[in-house]
A = this chain, B = another copy of it.
Amino acid sequence: MSKIHNFSAGPCILPPEVLLEASEAVKSWGSNGLSLIEMSHRSKPFVAVMEETRALTKELLGLPDRFDILYLQGGASLAFLTAAYNLLPEGGSAAYSDTGTWANKSIKEAKHLGNIDVVASAKESGYTGIPATPKVNDTHSYFHYTSNNTIYGTQYKGVPTEAGVPLVADMSSDIMSKKFDASPFSLIYAGAQKNMGPAGTVMYAFDKDALGKTGRSIPSYLDLGVHLSKDSMFNTPPVFPIFTTLLTLRWLKNLGGVEAIESINDQKAALIYNEIDRNSLFTGHADIDSRSTMNATFKLLDERHKDAFNEAWASAGISGINGHRSIGGYRASMYNALPLESVKVLVDVMNELERTR
């Protein structure tokens, strides 16, 4: 089988050595020959996996000491609700940024629990850019934003400290892709299935001191304090997703950590965006100053080249670059595990298409 260049938007490419080690562990793991997935989550070896996963996450993200890490279930979709339950006081307000589909979902769920003000929005422009962050009234408990928007290919370039209140972010699609200062945050959450591992677990990184101030009676599964008091094992954790996340985090550490991958991610993004701008057949979707290093969205200027382009990238072993159904075109998702080489192959295909038309 020829090499596959996997640009899937998520679940997405994982490092080959991670896949091999995860595969092996499903067959046999540890000293007694049992599979990883048929032993107690309270066995010493799995407790050690959970602890290393939490500690390595904190280390790789360079989080302040007061932060703690949980790996739970329910994805960002449940985190939208959990965030508000834990940080929005009864009768309180929070400020949200609307940068598209996922941001809208975070707003919808938070509205179950309080007054949500959308203080920044890219809706008018069709979500092609990242809106400026205003100074937020300090009656707002926090400012929530979606750091990277996979569908539109837009990304916050820095941490929006301009809001002037504690920050909360859904970083599902760019966590671990670049360095950032976490000190202004109360909470960061991210589904694992882009840069951290397979589908089935969501990471919460939060300032312990920010919890317990809402005056709410919080259902147990939605209470980060409950999960923290049980060291992320309030209930049976998703064993395989967490183990495979640990393997991916170890891979990242061996590579040199977030700083090292950021440099590679910047090279990949430069390569594809240079080609999109240079090539007369293509145009980018997102505003130039809001372009995502994770998801490059673009389209053909002339749909007559569509069949030729689709055939060319498929022949080159490229998969997963069709755009999201809501905006069409193409989307090259370049998560951490995607090699620079794969982007070069895509750029060559685009280049060749122009040369031969």
CB-based contact A38/B12 at 8 Å:
yes
Contact with B along A237-269 (1 / 0, CB 8 A): 111110010000000000000000000000000
A34 to B220, CA, bound (A): 38
B interface footprint on A6-40 (CB within 8 Å = 1, 0 otherwise): 10111111100001101110110000111101111
Q: Is the CB of B8 within 8 A of A38?
A: yes
Q: A14-B38, A238-B241 given as contacts; is B220 within 8 A of A109 (CB)?
A: yes
- How many copies the complex holds: the figure is 2
A3 to chain B: closest residue by CB: B33
Residues of chain B with a CB closer than 8 A to A95's CB: none
Give every chain B residue within 8 A of A12 (Cβ-Cβ). 38
Q: Is A235 an interface residue (CB 8 A)?
A: yes
A191: chain B residues at CB < 8 Å are 236
Q: How far is the CA of A222 from the CA of B80 in the complex (A)?
A: 12
Q: How far is the CA of A34 from the CA of B77 in the complex (A)?
A: 26
Find out whether the CB atom of B220 lies under 8 angstroms from the CB atom of A105: yes
Q: Does A319 contact B (CB under 8 A)?
A: yes
Complex CA–CA separation, A225 to B246 (angstroms): 34
Hey, which chain B residues are within 8 Å of A235, CB to CB?
75-77
Cα distance A78–B112 in the bound complex, in angstroms = 18
- Contact residue among B26, B40, B221 (Cβ-Cβ distance under 8 Å from A81): B221
Q: Select one of B4, B73, B199, B238 contacting A41, CB under 8 A.
A: B199
Number of interface residues of A (CB under 8 A): 60
- The answer to whether the Cβ of A92 comes within 8 Å of any Cβ in the partner chain is no
Contact of A240 among B34, B108, B198, B236 (CB under 8 A): B198
Instruction: Evaluate contact between B8 and A35: CB separation under 8 angstroms.
Output: no
Decide: B19 and A27 in contact? CB cutoff 8 A: yes
Inter-chain CA distance A55–B139, complex, in Å, is: 50
A74 within 8 A of B: yes
Task: List A residues 292-324 near B (Cβ within 8 Å).
Answer: 319-320
Task: Assess whether A35 is in contact with B10, with CB atoms less than 8 Å apart.
Answer: no
A268 to chain B minimum Cβ distance, whole angstroms, is 17
Chain B residues, CB < 8 A from A4: 32-34
* Chain B residues within 8 Å of A81, by CB: 219-222
* Interface residue A217 (Cβ < 8 Å from any Cβ of B): yes
- Does A320 contact B75, Cβ atoms closer than 8 Å? no
- CB-CB under 8 A from A57, the residues of chain B are none
Closest 10 CB pairs of A and B: A200-B238, A73-B73, A77-B235, A23-B26, A37-B198, A23-B27, A1-B33, A78-B221, A199-B239, A75-B235
Residues of A participating in the B interface, judged by any CB pair closer than 8 Å: 1, 4, 6, 8-14, 19-20, 22-24, 26-27, 32-35, 37-41, 73-78, 80-81, 105, 108-109, 112, 191, 193, 198-201, 217, 219-222, 234-241, 244, 319-320
- 7 interchain pairs, CB-CB under 8 A: A1-B33, A23-B27, A34-B319, A37-B244, A73-B74, A112-B219, A200-B239
